[in-house]
Amino acid sequence: MTVLLETRKLLKQFGAFRAVDQVDFRVEEGEVLALIGSNGAGKTTLVNLISGLLRADGGTIVFRGQDVTAQTVHERIAAGIARSFQLVNLFDQLSALDNVALAIFSRQSKTRKLWVLAEADRPVWQEAMEILHLFRMEAKARVLAGGLAQGERKLLDVAIAYALKPRLLFLDEPTSGVSTREKAPIMDTISSIVRSERISAAIIEHDMDVVFSYADRIVAMHQGTVLADGTPDQIRRDERVLTTLIGTPEASR
Amino acid sequence: MSTVTTTVVVEHRSPVRTLGWAVPALVILLALPFVADQYQTILLAYGLIMGIAALGFNLLLGYTGLLSFGHSAYFGVGAYTVALMVKYLGVSSMELFLVGAIVACVLVTAVFGIACVRYTRIFFGILTMALSQVLWSLAFKFFWVTGGTDGLRVPTPTLLGAITGKGDKIAFLATSYYYYVLGVFIVCVAVMWVIVNSPFGRALQAIRDNEVRAEFVGLQIRQYRWVAFLVSGVFTGLAGALWVPLNGLTTPDIMHWTFSGEIVFMAVLGGFRSFTGPIIGAIVFNYLKTYAVGYTVYWQLFLGVVLVVLVLSLPTGIVGTADRLWTRWRAK
């Protein structure tokens, strides 16, 4: 396996608090990785640093052999890093189809055109419809994003990121805020898409059942540092992970 | 703005349906000088000009989510550019006036825009207002250039290099100039319609709905806001340039922030969530103001009451409310 993304001694401080403390983290080509850890462990901050929402206070981020630490969000997206959000970020007054189409227009650098009609670009709308079909949302294509159910909003958020054709997709708690019953279908949909397209995915997740059943590799974080890194089986047996994150071995069955 | 709780299905509007409204409206506008008196025709010309101004303004409010409280500045830049072209260059061609106004507005909005698009919400509003007041004070104080409160006179221009207003000025304004304004109005509406329906227009709406997400689909949001600011200012500036010959005079009043408030009023009155709302709002506002001024010295009080009632009872404006009633009527 080749390394797609690597951080070296990545650092983010909020005042005296080190949210991400000298983290060495990597994502390999084609893998589905889970980032776990208790609240405040630094998972979202790490993703925010890599995706460009936050600026690092130290260390480097290398994506496909290129140092992207100083790059803007726009440049990182062009390079192939996309993300979804824990608190769903959608264009609420646009339809689900428009939400996805906008990402495609942006990817194809067509959003700078102000003298052509968006409607006239058939291939874009066709691709947007195909993506919604992939996410099993084509029935909701013409519904305003603001009017979708929570589970659908979660999926649409991922679909927008997917429409950017990323090589690396960060998913920040794709199943948070939805009912337990909805979690498996959402994860099934997402994991079948990323695996069939060979997109590398890094998923922040709290639900251990989800983590153990969908991830190839698990990185556990604690207080801004990487606590453990290994296959689901290794993590399941890791003493430090069990005591700090999951609880006592008895409690975690 | 109420949060959406039920499933909202977007109605797919075909261009044909839009034309269904546009054609009768156009026929009325074209026929007006033949059926209405000169006063009514000139009054509507003012309304159409304000419609162009409000249309430009709404690219920022309705489509980009930025409330400008300084659009009087660009209207004024358009108007004063024409007046200064008359005073210093002796130009009388209306086409040159329009080109001059566009160039001047591009320059001013490009500079103002760099400062303003760094902010959003109330900060954006205050900054646009402050900058417009700077231009107002220039027009007010540099009286040897701008005429101060006396303003600058602008004679009737030459249209298309041939048609002049020599002789009966009122007849010129009520026929030739009315049709000229109508022509520019149609072009402006068509151009703006393409812009808001372009991929760029979609990007603006995305930025309006969710700034963070817009950035994370790869949009460099400040650049988009800046272009929107420029286009918006140029439209309003064009309106200013068309307004001056009709009014015959430009004074610093049109640069004052209260006039920016009137433009905001027009958009809210008609409904800033729709494309046609600000146009309808501007035309209706023009009538409201004209008749209110004619009937009472307390016309500002009257308009204030209208605004309060409007915001409380018709938050989606005239067009938004009419649209809802129409949809409900058709569903029956």
Q: Which residue of A has its CA nearest to B214?
A: A91
Chain mean position to CA A13 = 22
Residue B15 pLDDT: 55
Q: Which of B68, B43, B53 is nearest to B289 (CA)?
A: B43
Q: Return the percentage of chain A with pLDDT > 90, whole number.
A: 36
Task: Compare A40 and B80 and report the one with higher pLDDT.
Answer: B80
Complex prediction ipTM: 0.87
Q: Which residue in B6, B197, B206 is closest to A94 by CB distance? A: B206
Q: Which of A83, A106, A111 to mutate to test the interface with B (most CBs of B within 10 A)?
A: A111
> Which residues of chain A lie closer than 8 angstroms to B8, CB-CB?
143-144, 146-147
Whether B200 and A112 lie within 8 Å, measured CB to CB = yes
Residue B2 pLDDT: 40
Question: Are the CB atoms for A185 and A65 separated by under 8 Å?
Answer: no
Give the whole-angstrom CA distance, residue B176 versus residue A145: 48
Residue B211 pLDDT: 92
Which tokens go with B262?
A: 């009137």
Whether B199 and A74 lie within 8 Å, measured CB to CB = no
> Which residues of chain A lie closer than 8 angstroms to B192, CB-CB?
none
Pairing type for strands A81-83 and A168-172 reads parallel
Task: Compare A249 and B250 and report the one with higher pLDDT.
Answer: B250
Whether A74 and B220 lie within 8 Å, measured CB to CB = yes
> Which residues of chain A lie closer than 8 angstroms to B216, CB-CB?
51, 53, 73, 77, 82-83, 85, 89, 161
Q: Which residue of A has its CA nearest to B202?
A: A102
Q: Which of B59, B52, B77 is nearest to B132 (CA)?
A: B77
Residue A167 lies in a domain: yes
Whether A106 and B215 lie within 8 Å, measured CB to CB = no
The reported pTM is 0.89
Range of weakest confidence among A234-238, B176-180, B227-231, B261-265? A234-238
Instruction: Please provide residue A84's backbone torsions phi and psi, each rounded to the nearest 5 degrees.
Output: -110, 175
Whether B215 and A74 lie within 8 Å, measured CB to CB = yes
Give the whole-angstrom CA distance, residue B96 versus residue A9: 62
Chain mean position to CA B77 = 14
> Which residues of chain A lie closer than 8 angstroms to B218, CB-CB?
73-74, 77-78, 103, 106-107, 164
Q: Which residue of A has its CA nearest to B216?
A: A73
Q: Return the percentage of chain B with pLDDT > 90, whole number.
A: 48
Q: Which of B190, B175, B227 is nearest to B38 (CA)?
A: B175
Whether A116 and B198 lie within 8 Å, measured CB to CB = yes
| Neighbouring-strand partners of residue A18 | A13
Q: Which residue of A has its CA nearest to B208?
A: A91
Residue in the block written with tokens 């609880």 = A247
Residue A92 lies in a domain: no
Residue B9 pLDDT: 47
* pLDDT surpasses 60 at A252: no
Which strands make up the sheet holding A66-67, listed edge to edge?
A: A17-28, A3-14, A58-63, A66-67
> Which residues of chain B lie closer than 8 angstroms to A95, CB-CB?
10
Residue A248 pLDDT: 52
Give the whole-angstrom CA distance, residue B290 versus residue B43: 8
* Buried-exposed string B169-178: b where 16+ CB fall within 10 A, e elsewhere: eeebbbbbbb
* pLDDT surpasses 70 at B230: yes
Question: Are the CB atoms for A94 and A85 separated by under 8 Å?
Answer: no
Whether B202 and A101 lie within 8 Å, measured CB to CB = yes
Residue B161 pLDDT: 76
* pLDDT surpasses 70 at A247: no
Residue A1 pLDDT: 65
Q: Which residue in B8, B205, B216 is closest to A83 by CB distance? A: B216
Residue B13 pLDDT: 53
Per the structure, the count of domains in chain A is 1
> Which residues of chain B lie closer than 8 angstroms to A160, CB-CB?
213, 217
Q: Domain range holding A52?
A: 3-86+153-246
Residue A60 lies in a domain: yes
What does the pLDDT look like over A52-73, one tens digit per residue? 999 988 889 999 988 999 999 9
| Neighbouring-strand partners of residue A222 | A225
* pLDDT surpasses 60 at A39: yes
- Number of alpha helices (DSSP H) and beta strands (DSSP E) in chain A: 9, 10
Gap from A238 CA to chain B (nearest CA, Å): 36
> Which residues of chain A lie closer than 8 angstroms to B217, CB-CB?
77, 102-103, 106-107, 160, 164
- DSSP letters of A86-143? SS----TTSBHHHHHHHHHHHHTT-TT--SS-GGG-HHHHHHHHHHHHHTT-GGGTTB
* pLDDT surpasses 50 at A178: yes
Mean per-residue pLDDT, A114-143: 90
Residue B322 pLDDT: 85
Range of weakest confidence among A27-41, A153-167, B195-209? A27-41
Whether A115 and B194 lie within 8 Å, measured CB to CB = yes
> Which residues of chain B lie closer than 8 angstroms to A146, CB-CB?
3-4, 8
In this complex, is the C-beta atom of A94 within 8 Å of any C-beta atom belonging to chain B? Answer: yes
- DSSP letters of B18-73? HHHHHHHHHHHHHHHHHHS-HHHHHHHHHHHHHHHHHHHHHIIIIII----S-HHH
- DSSP letters of A157-173? HHHHHHHT--SEEEEE-
Range of weakest confidence among A24-28, A170-174, A226-230? A226-230
What does the pLDDT look like over B288-302, one tens digit per residue? 889 888 888 888 888
Question: How many residues make up chain B in this entry?
Answer: 332
Residue A114 lies in a domain: no
Whether A114 and B200 lie within 8 Å, measured CB to CB = yes
* Mean pLDDT over the full length of chain A: 87
Q: Which residue of B has its CA nearest to A92?
A: B209
What does the pLDDT look like over B136-189, one tens digit per residue? 888 878 777 787 777 888 888 888 878 787 778 888 888 889 999 999 999 999
* pLDDT surpasses 90 at B279: yes
Residue A105 lies in a domain: no
Whether A114 and B214 lie within 8 Å, measured CB to CB = no
> Residue B132 burial (CB < 10 Å; 0-12/13-18/19+)?
buried
Gap from A148 CA to chain B (nearest CA, Å): 6
Mean per-residue pLDDT, B199-206: 94
Gap from B232 CA to chain A (nearest CA, Å): 13
In this complex, is the C-beta atom of A87 within 8 Å of any C-beta atom belonging to chain B? Answer: no
Q: Which residue in A72, A94, A111 is closest to B199 by CB distance? A: A111
* pLDDT surpasses 70 at A100: yes
* Nearby residues of B177 by Cβ (< 8 Å), 6 or more positions away: B45, B156, B159, B165, B245, B246
Gap from A88 CA to chain B (nearest CA, Å): 9
In this complex, is the C-beta atom of A101 within 8 Å of any C-beta atom belonging to chain B? Answer: yes
* Nearby residues of A69 by Cβ (< 8 Å), 6 or more positions away: A56, A59, A60, A61
What does the pLDDT look like over B4-44, one tens digit per residue? 444 444 444 555 566 777 888 888 888 888 888 888 999 99
* Mean pLDDT over the full length of chain B: 87
In this complex, is the C-beta atom of A73 within 8 Å of any C-beta atom belonging to chain B? Answer: yes
What does the pLDDT look like over B254-271, one tens digit per residue? 888 989 999 999 999 898
Whether B200 and A95 lie within 8 Å, measured CB to CB = no
Write the CATH number for A170: 3.40.50.300
Question: Are the CB atoms for A245 and A37 separated by under 8 Å?
Answer: yes
- Confidence at B3, pLDDT banded by 50, 70, 90: very low
Mean per-residue pLDDT, A112-129: 90
Whether A92 and B7 lie within 8 Å, measured CB to CB = no
- Confidence at A40, pLDDT banded by 50, 70, 90: confident
Q: Which of residues 132-171 of A touch B (CB under 8 A)?
A: 142-144, 146-148, 160-161, 164
Residue B5 pLDDT: 40
Which tokens go with B233?
A: 């200012």
